[in-house]
Structure 1
Amino acid sequence: MAGNRQAFSTEEFRVRVRRVHAEMERQDIDLLLIHAPENIYYLTGYQTSGYFAYQVALVARGRDPELLVRFLERGNVNEYSWLDRAETWREGDNLIESTLRCAQSLGSHKTVGLEKQSWFLTAAMSEALSAGFAGARVVDGSRVVPQVRLIKSEAEIRYLRRASEIAEIEQRAALAAMRDGVLETQVAAAVFNVGVKAGCEYTGLPHHVMSGYRYDIGHANWLPKPIVRGELTLLELYGCVERYHATQMRTISVGPVSDEVRRAADIVIEAQDAALAAMRPGASAREIDALVRRPVRKIKPEYYNRTGYSTGIGFPPRTAEWDVLDFNEQEDWVIKEGMVFHMLAFACGFGISETVAVTPSGIERLTHSNQRELCVVT
């Protein structure tokens, strides 16, 4: 049975389930309880903005996933999921008992995996579930599904291309709205207007519009603050299609900029250009990071931020998979074909970013239309 608005074919979902089964076997997990909404969506297609209420997908090796969701949300199973049924709970039910009953219906299991790192499995619930699986070994299965999600299918990349197009449309709307005295709120309104018209869903994070001194306030959101001549505005804007997120960061100046800012912009752009040119299957993530970090630190010695991360499915407060793959100077891992990243760099008031997909020979810039230079509005 296909959902009314199923984002992927049933066969694609089955392929994902088989890959998760293989990863479970590799980690010696017989039953996996999934509480992260991104992972539930990836395997079942089920989604709701009501994920603040308890929901879980139970995956036993060799079987289709089983869903347990709030009774009020059951319509979202028919709307989005390839699964033809789901167990439900109602207000007043004991959620631990309901979950354990679902697990028991799937047979006995020697090793049970819980997503102990998920924000949606509280410590109390984790302890109660662990106690309920008497006789089983309970392990942390937080990385099982995220590891599988890292390599995107062509269907996933198509959604990411569309999300990238939307992020670029939003950036162009922000540029068109920019003038001396315009409010950050007015710029944000222009972004939301074109984004929703272009098909943008609700995003995992709100758009970031940061002007003047607010550039250095991490992940700041729009305020009724005038953007005045001589100020830089950093915009980090998101496109979201079928929960897949793409991001683009650009910087706009109202009026002329100083030589210092021009020089910083040139250094940041050249550094990221070098990193993007070096990205290909087999490349070292730490070496890619260094291509950005080394030159940028010449103008911003305290540059500790990541320079990129894996992106894909997101529900608030996530737009990406930064907790799984992150470009930084401590960790190292190998880039693979099919991975998709948001790559970023910024210093001295100027920031830039792109969403890219790894191809057999390099990368495809999914955000490819907008100019990378500092935009100046006279």
Structure 2
Amino acid sequence: MGLAFEEVVSDVLVGQKPDGLPLFHGWDGQPLRVPAEEYKQRVTQTRKSMQQDGIDFLIVVQPEDLYYLTGFYTIGDSAPQALVLPHDGEPFLVARLIECDLVPKLSWVSKVWTCTDKASVSEVFMYAITAANVQDGRVGIQLQSISAAHFFHLQKFLRKFETEIVDGSKTVERVRLVKSDFEKDRIKDASVISEAALQSALDLIKPGVFFSANFRKSYDALISSGSEVPGYLPIVRTTDPSGHGSWMAGEECAPGNLVFLELSGCKFGHHAPLMRTAYILKPEETETPAWLLEAERLIQKTFEVCLPMMVPGAKANDIDAAGREIMMKNSFGLSMAARLAYSTGSTSTQPAGHAGWGDADFSLVGHNHGELKGGRRFGELPLTVKSVESVEIS
């Protein structure tokens, strides 16, 4: 449905959901693709998290958190756009006018403030906060994600009132990390897609095949299997140049290459990433190099030891230490710099949010002394190594 606006003052527009329609439904009264009870639970739990952080109203700018709470996402998140969620009171959105027609289609939030591009959406933001009378008290701002320019505008405005600014970067995230049954089912859907696409990618690893061709096949397999646009595009690369995020133009698979693959299907923003490393045998090789086989054994041992440790109450750094101890017992000089695992399954926006297909920064890593909770999902980084030549995968 189209969105009609009222001009409340010069260049300040507001759109309102028609009265009498059910809460947590679209502006046409129809259910959204995320069930109403799911949205209700997310908002309720976020308000409890706000209370825990002592926040009276929360300004949500992080794209995946906006999507998680409201269903609203755009490719225009470089411009100021936000959900303002009072602890008590009606939430509202602020966004550029060009993005606002998506609100009735995607979101249940019943009010959106905007302006044309000749005006400043930052100024509209200040007007909306004043009109809603939520400027007093403690405001949570996602300092991890908000632009410096937008923050300075807000800070200058809020100084006029008895407002204390606190960091609300983790307020939604700690809720989002614990998956509901609905979310677990979407992650399972995504995992089926991921497995099909990854197998397509592995089948194409042969000497002379362009990495770009493998990327194309991987992405086509994701979409053909029912994926939405994932938080990251498939990663296809070799160890030369090491550390480069994906393929470079003209690169080909070659004997002696380690080929790294990582991709994820996406359902309603939920992901199930998979990664594999393949080795292309050299002409003179008849079997996998011994160091690769040793690496595979260490990786398998890491899974065997660490997976049973991943229970509610376990410390993230303890699990990381156990896995790291195993991996460092190698005879080929491995130096393990990466984290052991990262939380995943997130409600990243499409084409990308700040979290990609991870869940921000809760990882199994040495500096994280946080405890695991039930309902979380993790992607472990140890890789399964396969050896290939032009005609076989072993």
CA distance in 1, matches of 2:31, 2:220: 24
- Tell me what 2:8 maps to: none
CA distance in 1, matches of 2:205, 2:218: 11
2:225 to 198, 208, 211: 198
Partner secondary structure for residue 186 of structure 1:
helix
Moved more, 279-288 or 334-343: 279-288
1:337 to 374, 378, 394: 374
Question: How big is the shift at 1:301?
Answer: 4.7
Partner secondary structure for residue 192 of structure 1:
helix
Equivalent runs, 1:131-142 vs 2, <5 Å? 131-133=156-158, 134-135=160-161, 136-142=163-169
**What one-letter code is carried by the residue in structure 1 that aligns with 2:233?**
P
Closer, same or farther: CA 71–107 of 1 in aligned 2, 3 Å: same
CA distance in 1, matches of 2:334, 2:179: 35
- Checking the alignment, whether the CA contact within 8 Å between 2:302 and 2:327 is kept in structure 1 is yes
Question: How big is the shift at 1:212?
Answer: 4.7
| Bigger radius of gyration | 2
Q: Could you tell me the TM-score, scaled by structure 1's length?
A: 0.86
- Tell me what 2:356 maps to: 319
Closer, same or farther: CA 140–212 of 1 in aligned 2, 3 Å: closer
- Tell me what 1:368 maps to: none
- Tell me what 1:376 maps to: 388
1:71 to 74, 97, 107: 97
Question: How big is the shift at 1:218?
Answer: 4.4
Equivalent runs, 1:50-61 vs 2, <5 Å? 50-61=76-87
**What one-letter code is carried by the residue in structure 1 that aligns with 2:388?**
V
Question: How big is the shift at 1:266?
Answer: 1.5
CA distance in 1, matches of 2:37, 2:359: 28
- Checking the alignment, whether the CA contact within 8 Å between 1:163 and 1:241 is kept in structure 2 is yes
Equivalent runs, 1:182-221 vs 2, <5 Å? 182-214=209-241, 216-221=242-247
CA distance in 2, matches of 1:123, 1:229: 48
Closer, same or farther: CA 28–101 of 1 in aligned 2, 3 Å: same
2:279 to 245, 253, 257: 253
- Checking the alignment, whether the CA contact within 8 Å between 1:272 and 1:344 is kept in structure 2 is no
1:35 to 51, 61, 80: 61
Task: List runs of 5+ in structure 2 lacking aligned partners.
Answer: 1-21, 282-286
Task: List runs of 5+ in structure 1 lacking aligned partners.
Answer: 346-351, 353-371
Structure 2 residue 50 is matched with structure 1 residue 24: yes
CA distance in 2, matches of 1:154, 1:374: 34
CA distance in 1, matches of 2:32, 2:247: 33
- Tell me what 2:312 maps to: 281
2:343 to 310, 331, 335: 310
CA deviation string 1:37-95 (max 9, x = no partner)? 11111111111223233211000112342111111112211221122442222202222
Question: How big is the shift at 1:137?
Answer: 1.3
Q: Percent identity?
A: 26
Partner secondary structure for residue 325 of structure 1:
strand
CA deviation string 1:279-321 (max 9, x = no partner)? 2222221221122211212335531211111121224253244
**What one-letter code is carried by the residue in structure 1 that aligns with 2:185?**
R
Question: How big is the shift at 1:103?
Answer: 1.2
CA distance in 1, matches of 2:358, 2:140: 20
**What one-letter code is carried by the residue in structure 2 that aligns with 1:342?**
G
CA RMSD of aligned residues (A): 2.0
- Checking the alignment, whether the CA contact within 8 Å between 2:264 and 2:357 is kept in structure 1 is no
CA distance in 2, matches of 1:205, 1:43: 21
Partner secondary structure for residue 342 of structure 2:
strand
Q: Could you tell me the TM-score, scaled by structure 2's length?
A: 0.83
